[in-house]
Structure 1
Amino acid sequence: MSLHIGDTAPDFTVDTTAGPITLHEWAKGSWVFFFSHPADFTPVCTTEMGMTARLAGEFERRNVKPLGLSTDTVEEHRAWICDVDETQGVSLQFPIVADPDLTIARSYDMIHPGQSETAAVRSVFIIDPDMKIRLTMTYPMSVGRNFDEILRVIDSLQLGDRARIATPANWTPGGEVIIPPSIGDEEARRLFPQGFTTIKPYLRTTHVN
């Protein structure tokens, strides 16, 4: 199954390291950072789980719930968390989905046969409070994710929803933003009383808090 931006994230009920959850009910109005890793007790995955745990406060500040997944069992996850905590200097609290029968991994297109028939690639789904998929990223098994980028795109999506703006290449919080062409100049003057700069009729920039 191929999922696209704007699709409703498929719901599921599953066992996790925090007990059974149903995705849509568990999210409860929060954003979700849903990400898969190939296998427990592997080096790159250990660093990614540690970084997710280390950034717990950053995710909470953004109203984002992390949710991991691999095709290992809950028992394997729980044993591995001890290694993650020990080697990464963290206390991992977010749930990790157990998907040994590959049901969820397949529904989210996390199994790429060119990489593995049984282990998930490093997929990322950013899901909003309406359970809509807002961003997808897929990394090969050998490449750990850039968590600065994950936080950056969450910031961009949330600011865009709040202020009706888009963000340019390499945008970081506090930087100049773009007024979408769908907003005319008259409406832009009302929405952005701080003013804006017109570079081209289709390229207008401003700053928002």
Structure 2
Amino acid sequence: MTTPEKKDDAPAIPVQDSQLAHDDPRTRHPKLHITKQRQPEPGLDVKTDPVPDIGLDSYRGMGRLTGRKALITGGDSGIGAAVAIAYAREGADVAIAYLPQEQPDADRVLAAIEAAGRTAVALPGDLMDADYRAALVDEAAKRLGGLDILVNNAGKQFISDDLTDLTDEQVHETFQINIMSMFTLSRAALKHMGPGSTIVNTTSVQAYNPNPRLLDYAATKGA
């Protein structure tokens, strides 16, 4: 096993475990047999078995985002956490927005950002809270010293076994988090962003092949 040379004090990752490996990515990782598990919503990555891979041991950056400032919603777990770690290892300073109940997940992401030698900004709060949502971008830009990247990744997903179980309140909440916050944050980010900046919105296969039990979520992903 060979190990690539460290760059900018980034942790050395074994080549066969990184995105630099010259192998078949379809067979790189072992097949998992995951038992059914349930947590009260919103749930924590760190309490799942196995804990999802967010790139802690597999992502090696190459400085492609050096000097950038990024805000990622839902940055404590899943796709948002993987993006936050990748951005930091590519050289960006990163702020993550997340629910206060998800602090244990956020802590390991914040630690990974700092371990990459970048600034990590924690912005816990609920995007259903209009005041939090309205102030989030400005607070991120203030604490990062600017803003070049916004990733609208936070999402709310409920399972409804039947359409009769899908309440107006649930539809409203799903659209507030998944759609309205996207517009609010994107609009607020524009005043901080110059040429070369970017806004990324996370969608899903649900937009194209919706699960009948996720109709409201699928509608937001299509939007």
TM-score, scaled to structure 1:
0.31
User: Relative contact order (alpha carbons < 8 A, sep ≥ 6): 1 or 2 greater?
Assistant: 1
Query: Of the two, which has the highest radius of gyration?
Result: 1
TM-score, scaled to structure 2:
0.30
Q: Which has the higher helix share?
A: 2
